[in-house]
Amino acid sequence: MFYYKINDTLSLTLVHSSFASQMADIVNAQKEYLGKWLPWANHFSENSYGEFVKFALHQYADDKAIHTHIIYDDKIIGAVSLNNIYHHLKKAEIGYWLHQEYQGRGIMTLAVRAIMDIAKHTYGMDVVDIKAGEHNTPSRQVAERLGFEFCGIIANNENVNGDIINHAVYMYRF
């Protein structure tokens, strides 16, 4: 199984069906917060997570994506991924979310920096993108702290539980 140690308390590990009950606990406790930005959060179940894991592992095996959980002090607190790896373009898209109680500690910045390292050194990417809800300030600040260039706003880019939101787009060139 894929494992990436960031420091003594923080690591990334590939999604796995054995994490279903932990994920259910996290998402159910954070449903209102996560549901503002992530369409899947309001419909999450252990079964839907199992289906996602099957999909994610196929993508990983096909070198199309890598979906990881952020592990802090031996428990899942979020996720970071290369959602789309475009080998022919040497470009990938980064997505992430973090349990609200762990925000503001620099954890997501470290996790995104780690997935950037994986994008560059494991997959040979030259460019990574982040798309965040226009008003999702914490997600946008992660991109800005890591030196991503703000490229602009894409209007009406996602439907999150009936609310159509714009995305702020950021790019990083290695």
pTM over 0.75: yes
Domains in the chain, please, with CATH? 3-126 (3.40.630.30)
Q: Classify residue 173 by its DSSP letter.
A: E
Tokens of 26: 């996290």
Distance CA 31, CA 44 (A): 9
Q: What is the pLDDT of residues 156-173, one digit of tens each?
A: 999 998 999 999 999 999
Strand partners, 84: 93
80 close to 111: Cβ distance less than 8 angstroms: yes
Phi, psi of 23 (to 5 degrees): -65, -40
Note the pLDDT of residue 161: 86
Angle at 80 between CA 75 and CA 84, to 5 degrees: 150
Give me the mean pLDDT over the 76-86 stretch. 97
Closest CA to 157 of 39, 32, 34: 39
Q: Which residue has the tokens 């952020």?
A: 70
Query: Which residue spans within the chain are E strands per DSSP?
Result: 3-5, 10-14, 66-72, 75-86, 91-98, 127-133, 149-160, 163-173
Q: What is the pLDDT of residues 54-77, one digit of tens each?
A: 999 999 999 999 999 999 999 999
Return mean pLDDT, the chain.
Answer: 96
Given a cut of 90, is residue 79 above it in pLDDT?
A: yes
